[in-house]
């Protein structure tokens, strides 16, 4: 049997008013309750119910490429802008913060936000206030990042390798 599929269009009406269309959805994220898309061509994120109803469209930085969740907040890596955005789960903008160049991956380790900065060959460690508290050189083109048991694992696409940081 072929599974059923439903297409959800991102340029939708919310409460009778038009919202900025989410163009170029590039990444999906599930926060345990809602589905979020990062929309690379409109520099927005869209929040959906599990039923596919668009609940909001929110401005972030240039090319939102990755998400992580920290308590009641959603953090978004803004690739081309070299920043991260911090949003409430209701979509309220709580700040945009500098990081390394071209942050491609983002992770919350229970205490800090981490970004894999693909152009710098570094990983940045940010406080929950968005301040960079440390930067670690890791190698060429870090892409994805994962926190496991107090260690930070990072893929290096240009080096065909994985790095494990023990900060």
* Segment 41-65, tens digit of pLDDT: 999 999 999 988 899 999 999 999 9
DSSP tag of 32: S
- Give the pLDDT of residue 123: 98
CA distances from 12 to 57, 89, 99, 106, 118 (A): 9, 20, 32, 28, 33
Angle at 101 between CA 95 and CA 107, to 5 degrees: 60
For strand 151-156 and strand 161-165, is the pairing parallel, antiparallel, or unpaired?
A: antiparallel
Q: Calculate the dihedral angle through the C-alpha atoms of 145, 49, 40, 146, rounding to the nearest 10 degrees.
A: 0
What is the tens place of the pLDDT at every residue in 127-162? 999 999 999 999 999 999 999 999 999 999 998 999
Rounded distance between C-alpha atoms, residue 12 and residue 18, angstroms:
7
């Amino acid at each position: 049997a072929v599974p059923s599929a439903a297409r959800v269009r991102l340029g939708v009406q919310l409460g009778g008013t038009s919202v900025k269309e989410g163009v170029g959805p590039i990444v999906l994220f599930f926060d345990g309750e809602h589905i979020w898309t990062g929309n690379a061509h409109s520099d927005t994120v869209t929040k959906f119910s599990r039923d596919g109803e668009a609940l909001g469209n929110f401005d972030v930085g240039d090319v939102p490429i990755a998400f992580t969740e920290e308590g009641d907040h959603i953090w978004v890596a803004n690739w081309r802008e070299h920043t991260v955005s911090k949003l409430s789960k209701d979509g309220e903008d709580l700040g945009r913060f500098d990081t390394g160049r071209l942050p491609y991956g983002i992770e919350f380790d229970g205490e800090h936000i981490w970004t894999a900065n693909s152009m710098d060959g570094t990983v940045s460690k940010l406080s929950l206030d968005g301040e960079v508290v440390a930067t670690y050189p890791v190698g060429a083109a870090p892409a994805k990042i994962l926190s496991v048991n107090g260690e930070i694992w990072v893929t290096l696409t240009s080096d065909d390798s994985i790095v494990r940081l023990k900060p």
